[in-house]
Amino acid sequence: MGMLKILKKMPIDAGQETLRHKTKGKLMALKAIKTAIKGQTALDVGCREGIQSKWLESKGYKVTSIDIEKAYEKCIIADCNKKLPFKSNSFDLAWCSEVIEHLDNPEKSVNEMRRVLKPGGIMIITTPNSRCLIYRLLSAFGMPPQKVQNPEHKHFFGEKDVRNLFPKAKILGFFPYMIYKAAIRKNLNFLTPTFVIIERK
């Protein structure tokens, strides 16, 4: 079995293809969501098969799911590279996991998510950290993030990039990579394979 196939079976962002719903980053992000108060709404940006939309529904939210193609029966087709088809101040929660690295202009798309959030609403985003230890080691062996991560990724973020995009957000990560994983707030650029971004409007 090649190194890349092994990586895709590991619960880190290099393994998003086979374990993308079980990574520690996603579980941390989900834990950050409080149970909804009756009538609260959530937007799932990049819903794919709807697994995370169902997570949000289990928390009590009325969920609107969007993606560029329909792989989930409740999905509304919408291009996240363009203006979102919703009024300003529409949602209590915006969830966007492993999506911004695929977008043409992440800053523009993130500002659209901010626009549709209600005052006091929360945006929760996860994205790979392409500067972490494991990617540095792989790069030394000729496997940079561009070869290891999803081939559709357009951006390869480090901590500085994420803090520039989310200057007011709480940014978390985790370490070590296997078995027991502790949440961390420091040394993110070097340690965590995933950024968990929590921003209140």
pLDDT tens-digit map of 52-75: 999 999 999 999 999 999 999 999
**Helices within 33-158 (DSSP H only):** 51-58, 106-116, 133-140, 145-148
Residue 134's pLDDT band, with cuts at 50, 70 and 90, is confident
Question: Which residues contact residue 164 at a Cβ distance below 8 angstroms, ignoring those fewer than 6 apart?
Answer: none
Q: Is the pLDDT of residue 20 over 70?
A: no
Task: Report the interhelical angle of 51-58 vs 24-31 (nearest 10°).
Answer: 30
User: Bridge-partner residues for 41, per DSSP?
Assistant: 62
Percentage of the chain beyond pLDDT 70 is 89
Structure-token match 């957000």, residue found? 169
CB-neighbour burial class of residue 27 (10 A; exposed 0-12, middle 13-18, buried 19+): middle
CB-neighbour burial class of residue 53 (10 A; exposed 0-12, middle 13-18, buried 19+): buried
Structure-token match 């209600």, residue found? 118
Structure-token match 């996603």, residue found? 26
Whole-number pLDDT of residue 36: 96
Q: Is the pLDDT of residue 15 over 50?
A: no
CA pseudo-torsion sign 17, 22, 79, 173 = negative
CB-neighbour burial class of residue 79 (10 A; exposed 0-12, middle 13-18, buried 19+): middle
- Tens digits of residue pLDDT in 71-108: 999 999 999 999 999 999 999 999 999 999 999 999 99
**pTM higher than 0.75:** yes
Q: How far apart are CA 50 and CA 62, in angstroms?
A: 13
Structure-token match 């880190």, residue found? 12
The string of DSSP letters for 159-187 reads HHHHHHH-TTSEEEEEESSSSS-EEESSS
The class that CATH gives domain 3-200 is alpha beta
Residue 149's pLDDT band, with cuts at 50, 70 and 90, is confident
pLDDT higher at 151 or 158:
158
What is the arithmetic mean of pLDDT over 38-58?
96
What is the arithmetic mean of pLDDT over 185-189?
95
Whole-number pLDDT of residue 196: 97
